[in-house]
A and B are shown apart, each in its own frame.
Chain A
């Protein structure tokens, strides 16, 4: 993964000093609350319902073991012994004290970490494929490009105070695992007919209050020009994006208002002024960055490890885990392992300091010292030898990180919700846990197969509910917490937004609602391998709606809307 040189390190150190001074001036009364707020947000520091929250950047989800150990140390020393993996592949801490944050940032800087631009109306942490560099369907490794864009977007002087937050995602594989269609800018790496590398550029996608699928603004921007092209988009947005209403300030609203063709024309006009100037990337710079992402020293191994195969046959629990949590690797004899944080007794994405230390140790022993955070809020060990899988599984099971449920119903994405977040209308975590509790029979989970449930505690959609096969959105009705359910959303190449099935539900009813939806699916599906999302697309939402609400007619309350 990328290692800082003196210039990267100096910038992060200078940021630590800058924010320490800003915090000092704030605490001394020289900076008002309103003046300090955007500054602390651009350093990942929120005020939450009960305490501040610090969101630490994990650039495009890549973590070194020593970085994860530092996060464990911070969780232990400054928090309550755990952290939370976010849907933007970051880690956040829910209980630090403001006065400690400059010191936390200073400690993070010693392991090339920071909280820069993890919040605020600026370019946020760029997200990407958690299987970058190891997936069999990869066309071009997105990591060097993420790093090039990270550097361009870090402390960009012109784009620090945009109308609203700005999110990039980069995909380089056949199957998009970065949800690029739901980002302000989605970049799809590809080759043109002559084999040159470039980007298909999508703009104006996003979830939140007004979910919109991004539209293509450029079919192919050659790699040399991707930074200048993005600069042109950002300048048009910075100048013309709405600033009068924060709910209409995202670039998607500007693109919709202008129409993508007019928007494109304006961007191209802007771009023409500096397209071939100093922003043009050089081969040397890209090569310098890409050198950090070469393959680790893989051993030459047979494609299938005989011992691993034998253990799969012998041990049913191991085989179940391997079936869901182990993926094929591009390198013979290796595997990609996802460590699940999803369990009925734990908030999705929560991970204790002890678990972090364990995972860091496994990374060192089994996976070249590196890990990835997925936007589904799990951890990945990307380079594990098949012959090590059994040992890893045994240890992960002891540590509570081996739920065999990746991609299954209990692998729920959820934001922190009303238990922590000051923006939330409703709690998310107890809903996730109640659903996980209801579906605790593994055989039944396997019968249901691939399905994604995404839960957001408010319309800001941090839990990506619009693109969940089943989406759950917390809403406030006269001070009470209710849940609106959508079905038919999906992420990936065929990203779609879910449709609301009807009036919302009380928290206590949510497990029943999910059960009804699943019953309907199992009754309607054509064959065992038709996935939930495919059934919804084929039969529409009506049978689901009829089953959920029909069953509820005799029951007491169904709120309006």
Chain B
């Protein structure tokens, strides 16, 4: 079972992340039993088949969250995939899911997810952080929770702090 950090706590999570490997097609890729997090293409191709199941959808960096706009109300989880931690597109996708489309369910970072980005990701509205399997030991993941609060009072408005610092606190001249 995968471990992730959800709302600031390490938790076990049984949801299976479906990926399309070489040779897989969205139409034919195997969908195991249990809770799933499927690629957008699978969701779009097999929506009827997935109806009634516990399923979330993940977006790749080049996918538009607008594609899920009509489905968000019924999705328990939306994944944001980081192909590399240096690829910041997922941060904008998370911001759009929360601020533009008003999504209030779980936004989960998957892929190359490292503790050094936890603070930024959280501020962009990502509330579940799922590092690649084996990247961190249990103890390291527990220690990584501290990174969520690397910056306690950031300057910017963000999903987490809807107002910029100058509106949140009184700053003396």
A residues within 8 Å of B by Cβ? 5, 7, 10-11, 14-15, 18, 22, 30-31, 35, 38-39, 121, 151-152, 154-162, 227, 235, 238-239, 243, 273-274, 277-279, 282, 284-285, 287-288, 291
B88 adjacent to A5 (CB under 8 Å) = no
Q: A279-B164, A288-B173 are in contact. Are A155 and B140 (CB under 8 A)?
A: no
Whether a CB of chain A sits under 8 angstroms from the CB of B162 is yes
C-alpha spacing A155/B153, complex, angstroms:
11
19 more contacts with CB within 8 A, not counting A18-B147, A156-B156, A158-B92, are: A5-B172, A7-B153, A7-B171, A11-B151, A18-B150, A30-B140, A121-B88, A152-B156, A155-B155, A157-B91, A158-B120, A158-B124, A160-B91, A235-B92, A243-B87, A277-B157, A278-B167, A284-B166, A291-B173
Whether a CB of chain A sits under 8 angstroms from the CB of B6 is no
A437 to chain B, nearest CB (A): 44
B104 to chain A, nearest CB (A): 18
| Residues of chain B contacted by A282 (CB below 8 angstroms) | 166-167
A157 adjacent to B120 (CB under 8 Å) = yes
The 6 tightest CB contacts between A and B, nearest first, are A161-B88, A157-B123, A157-B120, A285-B166, A151-B155, A278-B163
Which residue of chain A has the shortest Cβ distance to B136 in the bound complex?
A: A30
Can you list 15 A-B contacts (CB < 8 A)?
Answer: A7-B155, A11-B154, A14-B151, A152-B155, A152-B164, A155-B156, A158-B88, A160-B91, A161-B86, A161-B87, A235-B95, A274-B99, A278-B162, A285-B171, A288-B166
| Residues of chain A contacted by B85 (CB below 8 angstroms) | 35, 38, 161
B91 adjacent to A161 (CB under 8 Å) = yes
Whether a CB of chain A sits under 8 angstroms from the CB of B74 is no
| Residues of chain B contacted by A30 (CB below 8 angstroms) | 140
C-alpha spacing A156/B93, complex, angstroms:
15
Residues of B131-173 whose CB lies within 8 A of A: 140, 147, 150-158, 162-167, 169, 171-173
| Residues of chain A contacted by B119 (CB below 8 angstroms) | 157
B165 adjacent to A238 (CB under 8 Å) = no
Which residue of chain B has the shortest Cβ distance to A281 in the bound complex?
A: B166
| Residues of chain B contacted by A14 (CB below 8 angstroms) | 150-152
A162 adjacent to B88 (CB under 8 Å) = yes
| Residues of chain A contacted by B152 (CB below 8 angstroms) | 10, 14
Whether a CB of chain A sits under 8 angstroms from the CB of B116 is yes
C-alpha spacing A157/B119, complex, angstroms:
8
Whether a CB of chain A sits under 8 angstroms from the CB of B15 is no
C-alpha spacing A285/B120, complex, angstroms:
24
| Residues of chain A contacted by B100 (CB below 8 angstroms) | 273
C-alpha spacing A532/B165, complex, angstroms:
49
B121 adjacent to A157 (CB under 8 Å) = yes
C-alpha spacing A425/B62, complex, angstroms:
35
| Residues of chain A contacted by B158 (CB below 8 angstroms) | 157-158
A157 adjacent to B157 (CB under 8 Å) = no
C-alpha spacing A282/B167, complex, angstroms:
9
Whether a CB of chain A sits under 8 angstroms from the CB of B114 is yes
| Residues of chain B contacted by A285 (CB below 8 angstroms) | 166, 171
A151 adjacent to B165 (CB under 8 Å) = yes
| Residues of chain A contacted by B121 (CB below 8 angstroms) | 157
Most-contacted residue by chain B among A39, A155, A159, A273 (CB, 10 A): A155
C-alpha spacing A5/B153, complex, angstroms:
12
C-alpha spacing A142/B89, complex, angstroms:
31
Q: Which of B61, B86, B116 contacts A121 (CB 8 A)?
A: B86
C-alpha spacing A227/B156, complex, angstroms:
10
| Residues of chain B contacted by A157 (CB below 8 angstroms) | 91, 119-124, 154, 156, 158
B156 to chain A, nearest CB (A): 5
Which residue of chain B has the shortest Cβ distance to A282 in the bound complex?
A: B166
| Residues of chain A contacted by B120 (CB below 8 angstroms) | 155, 157-158, 160
Q: A155-B154, A235-B92, A239-B92 are in contact. Are A288 and B87 (CB under 8 A)?
A: no
Most-contacted residue by chain A among B93, B116, B120, B154 (CB, 10 A): B116
B88 adjacent to A159 (CB under 8 Å) = yes
| Residues of chain A contacted by B92 (CB below 8 angstroms) | 158, 235, 238-239
A476 to chain B, nearest CB (A): 27
| Residues of chain A contacted by B116 (CB below 8 angstroms) | 22, 31, 35, 39
C-alpha spacing A22/B87, complex, angstroms:
19
A146 to chain B, nearest CB (A): 14
B159 to chain A, nearest CB (A): 9
Which residue of chain A has the shortest Cβ distance to B140 in the bound complex?
A: A30
| Residues of chain A contacted by B164 (CB below 8 angstroms) | 152, 227, 278-279
Residues of B85-117 whose CB lies within 8 A of A: 85-89, 91-93, 95, 99-100, 114, 116-117
B157 adjacent to A278 (CB under 8 Å) = yes
B109 to chain A, nearest CB (A): 12
| Residues of chain A contacted by B154 (CB below 8 angstroms) | 11, 155, 157
Which residue of chain B has the shortest Cβ distance to A277 in the bound complex?
A: B157
B118 to chain A, nearest CB (A): 10
| Residues of chain B contacted by A121 (CB below 8 angstroms) | 86, 88
| Residues of chain A contacted by B166 (CB below 8 angstroms) | 282, 284-285, 288
| Residues of chain B contacted by A18 (CB below 8 angstroms) | 147, 150-151
Q: Which of B91, B140, B163, B171 contacts A5 (CB 8 A)?
A: B171
Q: A14-B152, A18-B150, A288-B166 are in contact. Are A158 and B91 (CB under 8 A)?
A: yes
C-alpha spacing A277/B159, complex, angstroms:
13
Most-contacted residue by chain B among A11, A38, A159, A161 (CB, 10 A): A161
Which residue of chain A has the shortest Cβ distance to B166 in the bound complex?
A: A285
| Residues of chain A contacted by B93 (CB below 8 angstroms) | 239
Q: A158-B124, A278-B162, A278-B163 are in contact. Are A11 and B155 (CB under 8 A)?
A: yes
| Residues of chain B contacted by A239 (CB below 8 angstroms) | 89, 92-93
C-alpha spacing A126/B93, complex, angstroms:
26
